Amino acid sequence: MAFLLIAGSPTSHSRSAALLEGVARQLQAQGGTVARLAVRDVNAQALLHADFSHPDIAATAAQLAQAEAVVIATPVYKAAYSGVLKAWLDMLPQAALQGKTVLPLATGGSPHHMLVLDYALRPVLQSLGARHILAGVYATDAQVQLPAEAAAPVQLAEALQQRLDDALRTLWSELRTSRRRQPSDSVAQPALP
Ligand SMILES: Cc1cc2nc3c(=O)[nH]c(=O)nc-3n(C[C@H](O)[C@H](O)[C@H](O)COP(=O)(O)O)c2cc1C
């Protein structure tokens, strides 16, 4: 199973990216193949000037096209998702998420903006043709402790870890179901956990 994990924060020392990395480790431990895309690494001029011909735009769209499922993480910025994530999403083909299952994640300073997942991010993912958008996981900053060293695992509050575990179980189950619905897939697929 090929997952693309998309980090939507403009910062390098990022809580939402750390949360996403925690998910990456879990998916890999469960037998998933994980690719990573940090939107902050996409050429900034291409994003700001809507340069659709820039190779970064084509490369990231191709990376997305190869994924069976997507986990996308964003910080809450001014009661919405990050601007850099929007700038990149705007550059994608209209059906970029067609046939894909998406798990959205967000981190915010306070719990008051958890509806960003449903009222801001979800409609955009829907407009890109996502087949199934799972219930998202929202974390407050207090629930995500950034590791001192980049390579160390992120520390998550227990309640958050449980919600993440539930979300990943749902993600795998949804992917199993969707494979059963598409028996015409001629390519041999690896077994799912
Ligand atoms: C420009 C900016 C705007 C923010 N706006 C909000 C907000 O509206 N609501 C909120 O709960 N947190 C807000 N925050 C806090 C971030 O969402 C929070 O710290 C988040 O975990 C940062 O994620 P990151 O480290 O991945 O960038 C804001 C932070 C910044 C820098």
Specify the pairing of strand 155-156 against strand 144-145. antiparallel
At the topology level of CATH, where does 2-181 sit?
Rossmann fold (3.40.50)
Question: Which candidate, 7, 1, 9, places its Cα nearest to that of 27?
Answer: 1
Binding site membership of 40 for ligand 1 (Cβ less than 6 Å): no
Atom of ligand 1 nearest to the CA of 139: 21
141 Cα to the center of ligand 1, angstroms: 9
Residue with token string 């994608």: 92
pLDDT at 189: 56
pLDDT at 86: 98
pLDDT at 153: 86
Binding site membership of 141 for ligand 1 (Cβ less than 6 Å): yes
pLDDT at 186: 42
81 Cα to the center of ligand 1, angstroms: 9
Could you give the 3-state DSSP secondary structure of residue 5?
Answer: strand
pLDDT at 191: 60
Beta bridge partners of 135: none
pLDDT at 158: 97
Domain spans of the chain, in order of start: 2-181
pTM of the predicted protein model: 0.93
Binding site membership of 143 for ligand 1 (Cβ less than 6 Å): no
pLDDT at 179: 81
Please list, in sequence order, all residues whose beta carbon lies within 8 angstroms of the beta carbon of residue 112, skipping any fewer than 6 positions away. Answer: none
Number of H-type helices and E-type strands within the chain? 7, 8
Q: Across the 193 residues of the chain, what is the mean pLDDT of every consecutive 10-residue run?
A: 96 96 96 97 98 98 98 98 98 97 98 96 98 97 89 92 98 90 56 61
